[in-house]
Amino acid sequence: MVFIKSVNAKKIFDSRKEKTILITIKTNVGVFSASSPNGKSKGKYEALPYKKDLDYDIFTIKKFKDYFSDESIDCFDDLRRIEDIVDGHLGANTIFALESATLKALAKEKKEEIWQLINENYKNKNLKFPRLVGNCIGGGKHSKGKKPDFQEFLLIPKENSIFESQKQNKKIKSLLYDNLKKIDRNFSGKKNDENAWMTSLNDKSVLDILKEIVNNFKIDLGIDCAASTFYKRKKYHYLNPSINRDKEEQFNYISNLLRNYPIFYIEDPFDENDFVSFSRLLKKYPNRLIVGDDLTVTNLNRLKKALEMKSINAIIIKPNQNGFLSKVKEVCDLAKKNNIKIIFSHRSGETEETILADLAFGFQADFLKSGISGKEREVKIKRLIEIEKKLKR
């Protein structure tokens, strides 16, 4: 069993040089730390990262150390004991970091991997590894200047190993540098918040480049539209080129893209309240992944509504959108029960925390969305490769 003797918290900087939280706990089996990432493109309905602000959470959590010392943690489900104490007092980032540090302590005490704590019957199961989803070209809120309106253009390898998938993503991203250099006169080789190439090309021009890539490699193509970020006053306001589309025009535009380009995966193509348009798109393209992120925000009730409306066949899981890992488990369980594909995802402001890989594998996610390059992104992929190597020995 693990007993938390003391809790400390401090500010650290994420990959965007913005402040986030690092939690350190002292336990009967040692000292363990974990941090939380920051999101920039946030869904309206996701949990607040901090109760009031970062300083408030740091001050508050230190007051709880005596409460934690009375609780013993012996399995993943025991995290609820911590959650009962902090519920209503701390934000999602802080809770996620605290529970992550606790899982690290429990893994040490049990002499197991973190993913094994989540998937207790792993010895009796045929485990799968998630496919990598990597952002290669970026726009939207993650980029600056003239840019695509869509937030992410994604590479999804079909390789049989994580190592080979990451190798392929890096190779293609390198090739894209040369392609963008030839076509985009403004391209300077700069990278955005998620370490994806920044370009002044519009969405269709980027898709034209990627269409050729897909034809030459064993890979699927995805886009994260993040449509809520440019939806205001019942219109989708595109800037590159400048055009406003109403709800029906947006549906027709997205439908045309899916018809004319080999897009396997499309995330948040409509506003976060438009369950109906998601549903229409899924009905029209049942063999594509229609992915909810801002629509569902790792929230059980939002997922229930999406299921009722038949709005999605895939869901983004961002643990710090919720904070409570027991509730993340509930969302994953309901998604699996209804054959909804699960995509565990990083945030745009990342840290060198690796637990996302263990969570993705432990919950048997279908995909891990963790970028392609940049140390904060690559550590998660390297952790997944490490798990892969250990299991294949």
Active site positions, annotated: 194, 318
Return the SS3 of 294. Answer: coil
Neighbours of 390 (CB within 10 A): 9
Exposed/middle/buried for residue 122 (C-beta within 10 Å: 0-12, 13-18, 19+):
middle
Return the SS3 of 113. Answer: coil
- Residue spans of beta strands (DSSP E) within the chain: 2-13, 19-27, 30-35, 72-73, 131-138, 152-157, 197-198, 219-224, 231-232, 235-239, 242-245, 263-267, 289-292, 314-317, 341-345, 367-369
Q: What is the distance of C-alpha 248 from the center of its chain?
A: 29
Residue whose token pair is 């602000």: 53
Neighbours of 336 (CB within 10 A): 15
Q: How far apart are CA 86 and CA 227, in angstroms?
A: 34
Q: What is the distance of C-alpha 8 from the center of its chain?
A: 26
DSSP state of 286: T
